[in-house]
């Protein structure tokens, strides 16, 4: 691949990274806002709401699910034709991951799993966040690349 091609792909990766982070921040806004309140009050306010959003609300998993869904919808609306492994990677994989997240949340709600299974520092949550964000960055980069190629 030429240097300009590599720079173009890096550009799409960077653009996708920014898209993913900004959408994640918007999704986590309630948590960020309560966190700011907690910091401004030196921990006197907001702690209960933070615990509720993370442990009972499953906000981290639901935001990951929402941004993966946004990428899949972008692909669907773009009209790009996908098949084979790409069909699995773009549409089926995020559905399977979302199903796993929903199952974990359901098991916590039914008290079959400890609520700390949804903690931001649990191994499963960390893995799910990394996989979800990686999916978003790579799939969105691929879409940007395809859309740019079609324009030429």
Give 66-120 pLDDT, tens digit per residue. 999 999 999 999 988 888 999 999 999 999 999 999 998 889 889 898 888 888 8
d(CA 54, CA 102): 14
- Are 91 and 82 a contacting pair, CB within 8 Å? yes
pLDDT for position 119? 82
| CB contact at 8 A, 22 and 33 | no
Annotate 74-85 with b (16+ C-beta within 10 A) or e (fewer): bbeeeeeebeee
Residue from 40, 37, 69, 68 nearest 53 by CA: 37
Is residue 3 over pLDDT 60? no
């Amino acid at each position: 691949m030429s240097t300009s091609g590599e720079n173009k792909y890096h550009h799409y990766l960077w653009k996708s990274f920014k898209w993913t982070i900004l959408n994640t921040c918007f999704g986590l806004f309630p948590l960020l806002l309560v966190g700011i309140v907690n910091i401004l009050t030196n921990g006197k306010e907001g702690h209960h709401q933070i615990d509720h959003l993370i442990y009972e609300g499953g906000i981290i998993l639901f935001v990951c699910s929402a941004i993966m869904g946004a990428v899949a919808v972008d692909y669907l609306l773009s009209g790009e034709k996908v098949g084979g492994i790409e069909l699995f990677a773009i549409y089926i994989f995020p559905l399977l991951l979302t199903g796993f997240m929903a199952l974990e949340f359901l098991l916590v709600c039914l008290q079959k799993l400890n609520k700390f299974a949804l903690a931001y520092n649990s191994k499963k949550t960390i893995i799910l966040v990394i996989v979800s964000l990686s999916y978003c960055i790579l799939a969105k980069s691929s879409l940007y690349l395809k859309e740019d190629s079609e324009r030429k």
